[in-house]
Amino acid sequence: MNLKQLSELLGLSQTTVSRALNGYPEVSEKTRKKVEAAAKQHNYTPNTRARGLATGRNHAVGHVIPLSTEHEVVNPVFTDFIAGASEVYSRENYDMHLTVVPDASESDAYRKIAAKGSVDGVIVHGPKENDPRIKLLREIGMPFVVHGRSGSTDEQEYSWVDMNNTRAFERATQFLLDLGHRRIGLLNGLETMDFAAKRRIGYRTALEQAGVTEDNTLCYSSEMTEEYGFSATTKMLALEHPPTALLASSIIVGFGVRRALDAADLKIGKDVSLIIHDDDLSYLRNGNSEPIYTATRSSVRQAGRICAEILMDMIVNPTRPAQHVLLDAELIIGHTTGPAPQG
């Protein structure tokens, strides 16, 4: 069913039917009701392409999700981020276009998306420090919001939604220091990523304030897999002075840590303490009523919702200045931390 058919059916012009459905005032309430009823009855929805062509607006946004070239890994937080964003899109009747690209060719992907002209805006995932995509998108003039921030790039110049990575890891480290831990290992994400760089800074700051010198043999940085958690932990445990506490950048890394401690017959939370960062993923809940892991927690899904809302707003209202949301992670106490063992 298309507009022409529907209008013929109703004995009205296409103009009138279109206006009726789009809420224009130049149409009587009576005809509007009639039109709406007929539209629903015949399951009429305006053809997206045609509407897009006519209006210049697509009612669609793009997500480009990077495929880590190193290990071909798609970060699992995307599912939840996208679930959050989708809530907003479906409420506003927007479509979501997804592109998965090797992160090397990401800039090209954005250029192509812009040229194809099928979306009104994009969300930038996984920003690195001084990420070239931000400059590119500004040049192109495509509305965008960044999930995270991009280091040295001026933060005022673009919209972003981020969590306070620095603060979160500073607090977590502080918490471990307060428990008496002095040798604290860090299993960070790839430090080319902005979030990981910021977490490293938080970690370092807390150590410095406590007068503990950072030890490079306790600092790891990699793609956040279970295997990484296992192998990095195993290596650290083999050190002459192994860590008594660990900070893991995700719950999945935390699973690997657990397995390594298990294999070494060390009790988690007693022999070795562990704090993870918990993105509050729906399928990887850190306990139900009570948290399992002590964690810094911030909902990625919520971040998705906020990003989407800001983007919608920017699309409708392009002149409004850039918006920034800094979410604070909460520190929640689970069963994986305890006082540093004496020795």
Partner DNA sequence: CCAAACACCCAAAGCGCTTTGGCATGCCTT
Partner DNA sequence: AAGGCATGCCAAAGCGCTTTGGGTGTTTGG
Indicate which of DNA, its own copies, none lies near residue 28 (CB less than 5 to 8 Å, by partner kind).
Answer: DNA
Interface residues with its own copies (CB under 8 A) are 1, 43-50, 52-53, 58, 60, 63, 67, 71-76, 78-80, 82-83, 86-87, 90, 95-101, 111-112, 115-118, 223-227, 252, 255, 258-259, 262, 268, 281-285, 287-288, 292
Q: Is residue 2 part of the contact set for DNA (CB under 7 A)? A: yes
State phi, psi for 294 to the nearest 5 degrees: -65, 135
Judged by beta carbon, residue 324 or residue 335, the one nearer its own copies is 335
Judged by beta carbon, residue 75 or residue 150, the one nearer its own copies is 75
Judged by beta carbon, residue 98 or residue 333, the one nearer its own copies is 98
Indicate which of DNA, its own copies, none lies near residue 217 (CB less than 5 to 8 Å, by partner kind).
Answer: none
Residue matched to tokens 């927007």: 94
* Cα separation, 143 vs 121, whole angstroms: 5
Binding mask 104-143 for DNA (x = CB under 7 A): ----------------------------------------
Q: How far is the CB of 315 from its own copies (least distance, A)?
A: 16
* Cα separation, 128 vs 275, whole angstroms: 24
Residue type, 35: V
Q: Which residues contact 30 (CB under 8 A, 6 or more apart)?
A: none
SS3 248: strand
- By CB under 7 A, name the one of 37, 54, 263, 333 that touches DNA: 54
Indicate which of its own copies, DNA, none lies near residue 82 (CB less than 5 to 8 Å, by partner kind).
Answer: its own copies
Q: How far is the CB of 316 from its own copies (least distance, A)?
A: 19
Residue type, 283: Y
SS3 content of the chain, % helix, strand, coil (to 5): 45, 20, 35
Q: What is the dihedral of CA 89, 91, 93, 99, to 10 degrees?
A: 20
DSSP string for 126-190: S-BTT-HHHHHHHHHT--EEEES--TTS-GGGSEEEEE-HHHHHHHHHHHHHHTT---EEEEE--
Q: Is residue 46 part of the contact set for DNA (CB under 7 A)? A: yes
E strand or H helix at 124 = strand 121-124
Q: Is residue 27 part of the contact set for DNA (CB under 7 A)? A: yes
Indicate which of DNA, its own copies, none lies near residue 79 (CB less than 5 to 8 Å, by partner kind).
Answer: its own copies
Q: How far is the CB of 316 from DNA (least distance, A)?
A: 13
Q: Is residue 58 part of the contact set for DNA (CB under 7 A)? A: no
As a whole number of Å, the CA-based R_g of the chain is 25
* Cα separation, 230 vs 217, whole angstroms: 16
Q: How far is the CB of 197 from DNA (least distance, A)?
A: 40
CB-CB contact of 233 with 261 (8 Å): yes
Indicate which of DNA, its own copies, none lies near residue 69 (CB less than 5 to 8 Å, by partner kind).
Answer: none
Q: Is residue 316 part of the contact set for DNA (CB under 7 A)? A: no
> For binding to DNA (CB under 7 A), which residues are involved?
2-4, 11-16, 18-19, 21-22, 26-31, 44, 46-47, 50-51, 53-56
